[in-house]
Chains A and B, each alone.
Chain A
Amino acid sequence: MNWRRISLIAVPYLWLAALFLVPFLIVFKISLSDIALSIPPYTPTLDLSEGWSGLRNMISQLDFENFEFLADDDLYWKSYLSSLQIALISTFFCLLVGFPIAYGMANAPQEWQPTLMLLVILPFWTSFLIRVYSLIGLLSNEGMINQFLMWLGLINEPLTILNTNYAVYIGIVYTYCPFMILPIYATLIKLDGSLLEAAEDLGCSRTEAFWRITVPLSKAGIIAGCFLVFIPALGEFVIPSLLGGSDTLMIGKVLFEEFFSNRDWPVASAVAVILLLILIIPIVMYQRNEQRRIEAEQ
């Protein structure tokens, strides 16, 4: 143990403790506080000058009132459930769109691979906000899709897509697609082609070989992709506020509004704590899957 080793560990450690761990403890503490008309707008606050008795005094004033409030109010229940629903449905459609693309990339000729890879990565590096923005012009009542459908004569009046939940689904599938494609592609490209040949030699049809070999062997990639879409989609704020309507309930948006419009910090903190509790399960499952994937590769 020399000072270099200690400082090498201590610098990132303390940084994360101060800017990641402590903020969480603060959120947790404020979620147990009461709203107050003061600066900051909650009570009790920790008075460091009183030392231990100040801390004990503060803890004695904390309660679970905000959580009871969340449980009683329909709005929050509905927001959590509708976020879960929107995230699940969009993840499913993302898989439906992403898998064929990843499969096509993996089967494409060797010399195309770098270009195809570049084409998937490019949207990934492009500003998220701009990609969501690009959908607004497409989906609006006077937008390209409606103009095109009306020109074809399929519809007589514009379909309302923008500012509905459909637009939110489209937005999530569109922006998170690369997160689905990349892990699936990574498992498909490693798949041993001779297995498929063997299956066909043994009398499998191509479709049967696909379902019995390709899909099970790419399971780890499919699971990773689904979590990479589902987890951020659940707390999504930008997509529901730009593409969704006033009746689109998503918990990220509710938290944002609770904090900035209603200035109710304790309730916003309680919303955050519950969102985190909901996310712990998928996050742990995702990490287990990743661990298994890494072990399988070695």
Chain B
Amino acid sequence: MRRFTWFNATSLTLGFAFLYIPMIIVIIYSFNDSRLVTVWGGFSTRWYGELLQNEAFLDAAWVTLQVAVLSSLIATVLGTMGAYVLVRGGRFFGRTLFSGMMYAPLVMPEVITGLSLLLLFISIGLDRGLITIVLAHATFAMCYVSVVVSSRLVSFDRSIEEAALDLGCTPFDAFRSVTLPIIAPAVISGWLLALTLSLDDLVIASFVAGPSATTLPIKVFSSVRLGVSPEINALSTILIGLVTIGTITASISTKRAVLRRKREEQMAEQMT
């Protein structure tokens, strides 16, 4: 028996206030007309206008977007393959090393990942730029994708996969027409995770980015070091808004997918 007590209500209120007030203040002050970040000078959207004319920020945003799309796609393919190998691959030479390499990047400090990748790129003579950031992001994001996908692979009923094989499917066909549709929601959330990780990453990108490619977090970091600025408030508000819309849409569509799957399962039971 669970009881929702006054203590629970108070800790939830205070807890969520703690999590949200700093971000809400940033959002409010992005509409402040004054350049002074502590004085309210009336409502205005001028900082959004200035942000949209800031070439350096726009260029960095474009680089970040390209990196995120490319690296998350690579990470999703490799991560799904990796998860499948770990869960269904059986025994093969060097399996322990493989699973170790699959999990280690999750707990590795970013400074070490960044440093080691940079030293690799330098020693093989690869010029730092968009490509090196994509390679770095794909590598650490594939491990996150693999965790998300393998938890789905572990939990689903293997007998349907075996049924497909019995009915004459090759393993590849069985994967494509049975396994993939079932794990698709996990693959999509893994991809979203990879996309977000890449969009957010500052430390690894600082190591592996060259002068030719600056990402948005690097740009934001160097300007934040000088203090609070209304442009960064406006940029933060846009990003927080995008994440909020994305998260809410994702949660609604998962709920719908769950309901649909339940309905389909019921129909399948009635038919048999």
Contact = CB atoms under 8 A, between A and B. Distances in A.
B72 to A, nearest CB: 14
A127 to B, nearest CB: 5
B109 A197 contact: no
Contacts of B203: 237-238, 252, 256
Contacts of B139: 15-16, 19-20
A69 interface: no
Given A24-B116, A122-B243, A129 B109 contact: no
A67 interface: no
Binding site of A, secondary structure by majority: helix, strand, loop or mixed? helix
Contacts of B135: 19
A276 B105 CA distance: 12
A13 to B, nearest CB: 6
A215 to B, nearest CB: 15
A161 to B, nearest CB: 13
Contacts of B89: 5, 8-9
A54 interface: no
Contacts of B163: none
Contact of B115 (A97, A130, A231, A268): A268
A242 interface: yes
Nearest to A17: B101
Given A27-B116, A235-B112, A275-B109, A9 B251 contact: no
A19 B3 CA distance: 51
B63 interface: no
A226 interface: no
Nearest to A265: B119
Interface string B208-223: 0000000001001100
Interface in B106-125: 107-112, 115-117, 119-120, 122-123
Nearest to A255: B111
Nearest to B81: A12
Contact of A174 (B16, B18, B196): B18
Contacts of B81: 8, 11-12
Contact of B98 (A16, A40, A128): A16
B11 A122 contact: no
A136 B224 contact: yes
Contacts of A23: 116-117, 119-120
Interface stretch (B44-52, B53-61, B232-240, B261-269): B232-240
Interface in A77-113: 97, 100-101, 103-109
A259 B208 CA distance: 13
Contacts of B217: 127, 129
Contacts of B251: 114, 118
Nearest to B228: A137
How large, as a class, is the contact surface on chain B? 35 or more
A140 interface: yes
A119 B18 CA distance: 12
A130 B240 contact: yes
Interface in A218-259: 231-232, 234-238, 241-242, 252, 255-256, 259
Nearest to A15: B78
Interface string A187-222: 000000110110000000000000000000000000
A283 interface: yes
A133 B236 contact: yes
B82 interface: yes
B37 interface: yes
A150 interface: no
Contacts of B22: 131, 134-135, 137-138, 174
Given A104-B11, A231-B107, A272 B116 contact: yes
Contacts of A268: 115
Contact of B111 (A21, A242, A252): A252
Which of A133, A234, A276, A286 gathers most chain B CB within 10 Å?
Answer: A133
Interface in B37-91: 37-38, 78-79, 81-82, 84-85, 89
B130 to A, nearest CB: 16
A155 interface: no
Contact of A116 (B5, B12, B123, B206): B12
Contacts of A9: 85, 89, 92, 98
Given A9-B89, A107-B3, A137-B37, A101 B112 contact: no
24 contacts: A5-B171, A9-B89, A11-B81, A15-B139, A21-B101, A26-B119, A101-B15, A103-B8, A104-B7, A107-B2, A107-B5, A122-B244, A123-B23, A129-B202, A129-B220, A136-B227, A174-B19, A193-B1, A252-B203, A265-B119, A269-B119, A275-B111, A279-B107, A286-B107
